Amino acid sequence: MRSIAAKLWLTMVLLVALVLGLLGLTQAKAIKWTYYRLEAHRMVAETEELAGLLASGASPQAVGERVAFLSRVFRATVLVVDASGRVQHCRGMGPRRRFWEGAVISGEDVAAVLAGKTICREGELPLFQGVRLLWVGVPIRSGNAVTGGVFIYAPLAPLEARVRGLEVTLVAALLGGAALAGLLSLFVARHFSQRLVAMEKVAEAMAAGDYAARAVVTGQDEVARLAVSLNKLAAELEKRIAELKRMDAARRDFVAAVSHELRTPLSIIQGYTEAILDGMVTPEEMKLYLDTIREEVERLKRLTDELLDLRRLETGAIKIRQEKLDLGEIASQVAARFQAAPEASKLHFHVEVSPRSLVLGDKDRLEQVIINLLDNAFRFTPAGGSVTLRVESAPEEVVLTVQDTGPGIPPEELPYIWEKFYRSDKARARTTGGSGLGLAIVKQIVELHGGRVEVQSRPGEGSTFKVTLPAAK
């Protein structure tokens, strides 16, 4: 048997059959017993009444009528004897001739009744050969003395027929109940197994690489909890696989971007070198070409340096030192270098540093962060604009911001600027010398310091880069 539903169903049906069978058996017994007892009670009651009638000295005619009546009602033989066992009245079916009036009868039952006992028995008697009987005997009393006895011998056949009728009804009801239970349990089992089958489908979908499939959770039972776990597993797998795919794509993009970055300077170098080797250039041109070649070589060197640096930061090959530093002080030092540069003169450069902005970190790396941010700000802000460097200290964190009045960054580009090689305008960026790695390095360094980077920018209104680091205690 391969299906859980079938197993469940069979178990339930067997159980129901067992319970109903036991119930049927005991109920049939109980019905029979109750029925016989009721009948016996009635017979005893009627017999006692007749005995009372006899004890009160009623006329033989009245007694005879009563006897005839009882014989009819119970379809039984009714017998009245006196204290010596002599038959006074006898009416009824069967071997009545054996009890003709005036005969003396004896036996265990007669003796018991004449001794003052009421009897009530079931079985066969030699007098009524082959007929199963229910019979009662009641003494007739006059004061303390027993003056005779009254007996009713009723055949069991009509009673048995009625009991059998009831038993048939009972069996029919039980069979009906069993069938209904079987049907119901079929639904329950199917419902149960359908949920399992649904989960199996989800598992198979996952095995086939579809991690978006989810099982429907109904209720809170174990099956529902299993479904919840399965869904959790699917969600987790979906997340991890997506992550893996993303990483794989990033790696491929990275290789493509690096080759792309290398191709332009290399072909420039190649072109100029060939021109020089051709010997067709004037000494002035030669000087110009060689300058260009040196520039491109420097750019290549910077690019590879930055790449290696970023790689080491990303793989954790570089240890970030954990010294207590004043970020404000570092910012002021870097700012001084920028102020000394010739480009600074065409911009308004403000530095606002709050004292004792202590952080735990690596001085060279934090300098690199500030240099990269200021370099961008200076490079992207046109003459006449302004650049502001701020370091603010809060109890829990130190915030460094670099704000400029440059062109700003379009909102759709904002999420990408921290990525390697991302430059909003490739052509312009190339001529302005950026490799597109600066912000990726900034982000990596800040995160290695347990901090975070944010940017706010609107095209035409400038940009604000914000670095938040945990404050040192």
Ligand X SMILES: Nc1ncnc2c1ncn2[C@@H]1O[C@H](COP(=O)(O)OP(=O)(O)O)[C@@H](O)[C@H]1O
Using CB under 6 A as the criterion, which residues of the chain lie in contact with ligand X when the complex forms? 372, 376-377, 380, 404, 406-407, 409, 417, 422-424, 429, 434-440, 463
Choose the one of Mg ion, ligand X, none that binds residue 386, judging by a C-beta under 5 to 8 angstroms depending on kind.
none
Within 347-406, which residues bind Mg ion (CB under 5 A)?
376
Q: Which is nearer to ligand X, 326 or 404 (CB)?
A: 404
Tell the burial category of 219 from Cβ atoms under 10 Å away from its Cβ (0-12, 13-18, 19+): exposed
Choose the one of Mg ion, ligand X, none that binds residue 328, judging by a C-beta under 5 to 8 angstroms depending on kind.
none
Q: Which is nearer to ligand X, 73 or 297 (CB)?
A: 297
Collect all residues with Cβ–Cβ distance below 8 Å to 293 and sequence separation of at least 6: 268, 269, 272, 273
Query: What type of residue sits at position 292?
Result: T
Q: Which one of residues 137, 139, 149, 438 is an interface residue with Mg ion (CB under 5 A)? A: 438
Which tokens is 29 given? 């017994």
Q: How many residues does the chain have?
A: 473
Quote the radius of gyration of the chain (alpha carbons, Å). 56
Choose the one of ligand X, Mg ion, none that binds residue 422, judging by a C-beta under 5 to 8 angstroms depending on kind.
ligand X
Least distance CB 358 / ligand X (angstroms): 27
Least distance CB 255 / ligand X (angstroms): 19
Least distance CB 284 / ligand X (angstroms): 31
Q: What share of the chain is helix, strand, coil (3-state, %, to 5)?
A: 60, 20, 20
DSSP 60-119: HHHHHHHHHHHHHHTTSEEEEEETT-BEEEEE-SSSGGGG-TT-B--SHHHHHHHTT--E
Choose the one of ligand X, Mg ion, none that binds residue 377, judging by a C-beta under 5 to 8 angstroms depending on kind.
ligand X
Q: Which is nearer to ligand X, 17 or 414 (CB)?
A: 414
Residue nearest to ligand X according to CB distances in the complex: 434
CA–CA distance, 435 with 425 (Å, rounded to integer)? 12
CA–CA distance, 79 with 150 (Å, rounded to integer)? 6
Place of tokens 């003709």: 100
Least distance CB 435 / Mg ion (angstroms): 8
Q: Does residue 434 belong to the site contacting Mg ion (CB under 5 A)?
A: yes
Q: For Mg ion, how many residues bind (rule: CB under 5 A)?
A: 3
Q: Which is nearer to ligand X, 187 or 416 (CB)?
A: 416
Within 64-103, which residues bind Mg ion (CB under 5 A)?
none
Q: Which is nearer to Mg ion, 89 or 299 (CB)?
A: 299
Residue nearest to Mg ion according to CB distances in the complex: 438
Q: Which is nearer to Mg ion, 109 or 261 (CB)?
A: 261
Q: Which is nearer to ligand X, 132 or 302 (CB)?
A: 302
Least distance CB 379 / Mg ion (angstroms): 7
CA–CA distance, 373 with 367 (Å, rounded to integer)? 10
Q: Which is nearer to ligand X, 79 or 373 (CB)?
A: 373
Which tokens is 249 given? 């794509």
Tell the burial category of 315 from Cβ atoms under 10 Å away from its Cβ (0-12, 13-18, 19+): exposed
| Of 165, 169, 166, 162, nearest in space to 75 by CA | 162
CA–CA distance, 26 with 22 (Å, rounded to integer)? 6
Choose the one of ligand X, Mg ion, none that binds residue 417, judging by a C-beta under 5 to 8 angstroms depending on kind.
ligand X
Residues in contact with Mg ion by CB under 5 A are 376, 434, 438
